[in-house]
Structure 1
Amino acid sequence: MELIDDDGNLFGAVNVIDALVVLLVLAVVIAGAALVFSGGDAPGPDTQTTYATLDMGTQPAYIADAINEGDTYEPDGSSSATITDVHLTPRGNDIGVTLRVALEGEVNDGTLTYGNAPPRLGRTLAIETSQYQVEGQIRAVGNSNALATGERRVIIRDTLDAETASAVTPGDEIRLAGRTVATIDDVATYATNGSGQTRLLAETTLATHREDGYARFGGVRLQRGQSLTLPADDYTIEGDVERTNGDGLGETATRNVTLRMTDVREDTADSIEPGMIEGPANDPVAELTDVDTEPSLIIATGDDGSVNVADHPINRDVTITAQFQVRETATGVLFKGDRLRGGTTVTLDLETRIIEVEVVSVSR
């Protein structure tokens, strides 16, 4: 018997086209049954991503230098962390590290789980790569992949030796692990009554990190009186924040000032003369324009209640008129970084002699 006869029937009984259709339907049915009985590819678990701020505390420079955006860590097969932002600040001899990380994990009952637990505030998380291993606490959780950073201009006061103070220059950058964390915008230096010591006022722009509504630098809230360390290549400033209002060192101006010294020795009084200056001759910080010296008074009360007044044989009272170079700021008139007003005491370095004088009055 022929396999297909002249009429196109298979074995003379079934049409070939009909047979092919039956086979195709049968194949589809078998494939579907296999899928049902094998269970198929079950849908994967729901995953989600949230962002957290990690305070990594202080780290040595070689660790901070190795931490970069894009570093990843998987604590288990269902969770991963990716660093999305890095913020560094000086903290003593080490570097404060704050990270923003993307945390990906499974969602159970509407709660994301990272490393078998939700990313709660205060929880300690580790970041481990082939180069470093660190851990820190979660300080904030949110939807942004970047830290809330900004800039804040402050005035920092420090006392340095004269050579170091002269090295502080506008435009200097403070860099940590290749990142600029502060820039020196302006500098003012003044003599002190300490031998070889110079008072430094540095107008500085700081790269800050905002947390709980406050700008932070060096791991703490930025405010007046806060101690800061700024390690430049050629010097280190370890001073206090004098002002945070951002008005800079102020505009330079001059004031006429009346000063007084009482009960000073005659040789000291005689050494103070008009024309003496503090600072360079072409731009003095202070210049004495007039000096008036008279004997100090000895006032004694007799047994009968009478008052006797006599000139002191050695001590002198000195009244000085001077012109000061000052800076006008929103908080007042400053001389060498301090408020200039009656009743305060200022120190003048007159090259051959350093004197402390009381401010009697200030006028334009």
Structure 2
Amino acid sequence: MKVIDEDGNLFGVVNVIDALVVLLVLAVVVAGASFVLRPAPAPEEPETTTQYATLDLGTHPDYVASLVEPGENISFGGQSELTITDVYATEVNGNQHVLARVALEDVAGTSPFEFAGEPLRINRELTLTTPQYRVAGNIVSVSDAGSELPLTETQVVLRSTVPSEAAADIDVGDTYTVNNRTLGTVESVSVYGTDNPSVNTVYVGVSYVTYERSSTPRFAGTVVEDGATLPFRTDSYEFSGKVVRTNAAQQAGTEATRSVTLQLEDVNPETANSIHEGMVEQFDGEAIATIDSVSVQPTEMVLVSQDGNVYLRDNPRKKTVTMQATLRVRETASTTQFKGQPIQQGSTVTLDLGTITIRATVTAL
């Protein structure tokens, strides 16, 4: 069979001209459909910019504070997105005080920068809402860069009075941890006896991770300065200590030994006879004070006779104890310190000698 016969029909059925018209119409329909069904081009995303801020989220229970972590992304609608980049939590009165560094992303072009439709202002409140928690905080600082909080290491020496069991547990290298972040490390420790044998005075050198605001270091909401009270806690013990030295983790001065003369007056014979050469106050195997010699004499008393004569006599019930002792001290250019306190002639020192605790007067130094 001919493809096109003498009448111009295609395969003897359809006129060639008609077939071409049909094909042309079909081509137009297909082209139109493809144009209509082609997806519209996606609108271009507006350009964004990022600012950084520090939020003071206040105090919260441990189970809430521990949920605030770096990496959390929080949408405030539209192009406004907040990302937590750093977190610093310290313990305050049984709760945790939380500071968060955040990156704030929003549409570029506004001056000043706006986030969620409002300028970033100091003290502006932002509420962070996630499936796990909802906390609100105030902006305390704003900057163009810096994803980390302004944290620094600050060294101090703390003085505290603690139970003897706790004092024995304090050791160099102990760490204070909150939410798996180390906030403090013990650098030095000195333990001294007191009038109470179950209580010790401790001097603990600590390196704290502090938050620096306006060039002032803060820890647990407290400015780190002389006289401030700061906490320290481990799984075994906890205490609060008074800052007695800043920018150092050791007590002032250099360690030395000093021979001194000590005296007890008007003590009963039993007490006098219980003090003897070789007695030692020590901690962790190190001598703090050693009694080198002891002299016991009756305490003299003044008697006045009926005729007005004055007599100096020995008191049969009271003794005077004179001791030579070697003390472990720290010496500075201006003072000699024993157990963290300056001593001089006339000072009173307390010695825990194991079987007896005495308060003696320094008569020669």
Into which bin does the TM-score normalised by the smaller protein fall? 0.7 to 0.9
2:279 to 276, 286, 307: 276
Residue identity in the other structure for 1:69:
P
Q: 1:340 to 1:198 in 2, by over 3 A?
A: same
Partner in structure 1 of residue 195 of structure 2: 193
Please list, as runs of the form range in 1=range in 2, the aligned pairs for 1:325-364 lying within 5 A after superposition.
325-328=328-331, 332-362=335-365
- 3-state SS of the aligned residue for 2:270? helix
2:226 corresponds to 1:224: yes
Alignment of 1:44-63 (within 5 A): 47-63=48-64
Q: Deviations for 1:305-331, whole angstroms, at most 9, x for unmatched residues?
A: 986644434233332220012234688
Q: Show the 5 A alignment for 1:171-320.
A: 171-249=173-251, 251-279=254-282, 283-299=286-302, 309-320=312-323
Q: Letter of the aligned partner of 1:188 in structure 2?
A: S
Per the TM alignment, residue 211 of structure 1 is displaced from its structure 2 partner at its CA by: 0.6
Where structure 1 has 5 or more consecutive residues not aligned to the other structure, the ranges are 1-39
CA–CA separation in structure 2 for the residues paired with 1:135 and 1:306:
85
Asked if the contact 1:153–1:248 (Cα under 8 Å) also holds between the matched residues in 2, the reply is no
Contact persistence 1:247–1:330 (CA under 8 A): no
Q: Distance in 2 between matches of 1:155 and 1:311?
A: 48
C-alpha distance in 2, partners of 1:137/1:308?
Answer: 80
Please say which structure displays the higher CA radius of gyration: 2
8 Å CA contact 1:91–1:229 kept in 2: the answer is no
Deviation at 1:265, TM superposition (A): 2.4
| Mapping of residues 158-177 of structure 1, within 5 Å | 158-177=160-179
Could you tell me which residue of structure 2 aligns to residue 66 of structure 1? 67
In the aligned structure 2, how far is the partner of 1:279 from the partner of 1:101?
51
Q: What per-residue deviation string (whole Å, max 9, x for no partner) do you get for residues 56-109 of structure 1?
A: 222222223222212122233242221122122222322221111122334676
Change (3 A) 1:346 1:44: same
Aligned residues: 323
Partner of 2:143: 142
The share of aligned pairs that are identical, in percent, is 35
1:170-192 CA distance string (max 9 Å, x none): 11221111111111122222222
* Distance change in 2, residues 1:357/1:109 (3 Å): same
Identify unmatched segments of 5+ residues in structure 2. Answer: 1-40
Structure 2 vs 1, CA of residues 302 and 120 (structure 1 numbering), >3 Å: closer, same or farther? farther
Do the aligned partners of 1:247 and 1:329 also contact (CA within 8 Å) in 2? no
**SS of equivalent to 1:279:** strand
Deviation at 1:119, TM superposition (A): 2.1
The one-letter code of the counterpart of 1:100 is R
Length-normalised TM-score, structure 1? 0.78
Secondary structure of 1:66's counterpart equals coil
Matched with 1:96 is: 97
Q: By how many angstroms is 1:354 displaced?
A: 0.6
* Partners of 1:90 and 1:230 within 8 A in 2: no
